[in-house]
Amino acid sequence: MKIKVLISNDDKFFTQGLTQILGHYFNEKGIFVDVNETLDANVHYYLAFIGVNNLSQYLYARKMVSTEVIFIIQPEVELILNRPEKGMKILLRNQSVNTLLQQIDEVYLAPQGFAQIRQPLSLTLREKDVLHYYSIGYTNIEIGELLGIHQKTVSAHKIKAMNKLNFKHKGEFRRWLIETHCPQMRGVENLR
């Protein structure tokens, strides 16, 4: 399993340390972490850490992160952000690693959150077929002809699968399909 993480912070030393902590922590759980330091509209992030100086990115990031909470990095105990919004969690630069990991556990690895990481697929056989053909470059019309369904039905299956897999952007979804070439769907061909 692989997750993408956004760390938008001016302190590169802190960013590097946070990257190492997250990488080690999630590797123990069998999850690979890919960190981006700049906000990319075509990327679907699982976690986001935004420096208090970069709060202008908060609303934009809010739409591109699959969780309820975004961590706001603050330099010291005197809170620059006095009243955080509901979807914000404050991360102080000088707090301990254990405190940081405890915050991540509370927010992201609650039983339902961890199940979401591990078991994102509850796709129907038809959705798996559509995604298989889509990943190897077939158009909606071609997939529809192969499966004997209308192209709008193909599109509906694609959108439902995208939502079930928790993707918000079609570009990132397409890139993920091409990168992974849907290995979990290869077994479908053997079932027939």
Residues 108 and 160 reside in one and the same domain: no
CATH code of residue 97: 3.40.50.2300
Range of the domain at 11: 2-118
CATH code of residue 165: 1.10.10.10
Residues of the chain with pLDDT under 50: 111-120, 182-192
> What is the tally of structural domains in the chain?
2
Examine the fold and report which residue of 118, 145, 165 is the final residue of a domain before the chain moves on: 118
pLDDT of residue 96: 85
pLDDT of residue 152: 93
pLDDT of residue 141: 93
Residues 30 and 61 reside in one and the same domain: yes
pLDDT of residue 189: 43
Residues 108 and 18 reside in one and the same domain: yes
pLDDT of residue 40: 74
* DSSP secondary structure, 77-133, as one string: SS-SSSS--TTEEEEETTS-HHHHHHHHHHHH-SHHHHHHHH------HHHHHHHHH
pLDDT of residue 101: 85
Residues 84 and 144 reside in one and the same domain: no
Pairing of strands 47-51, 70-74: parallel
Which positions ≥6 away from 176 have C-beta within 8 Å?
44, 165, 167
pLDDT of residue 145: 93
pLDDT of residue 112: 45
Examine the fold and report which residue of 118, 152, 174 is the final residue of a domain before the chain moves on: 118
Residues 58 and 138 reside in one and the same domain: no
Residues 85 and 42 reside in one and the same domain: yes
Q: pLDDT, tens digit, for every residue of 75-131? A: 765 555 555 556 667 777 778 888 888 888 877 665 444 444 444 457 888 988 888
User: What pTM, to 2 d.p., does this model score?
Assistant: 0.54
pLDDT of residue 134: 85
Residues 87 and 39 reside in one and the same domain: yes
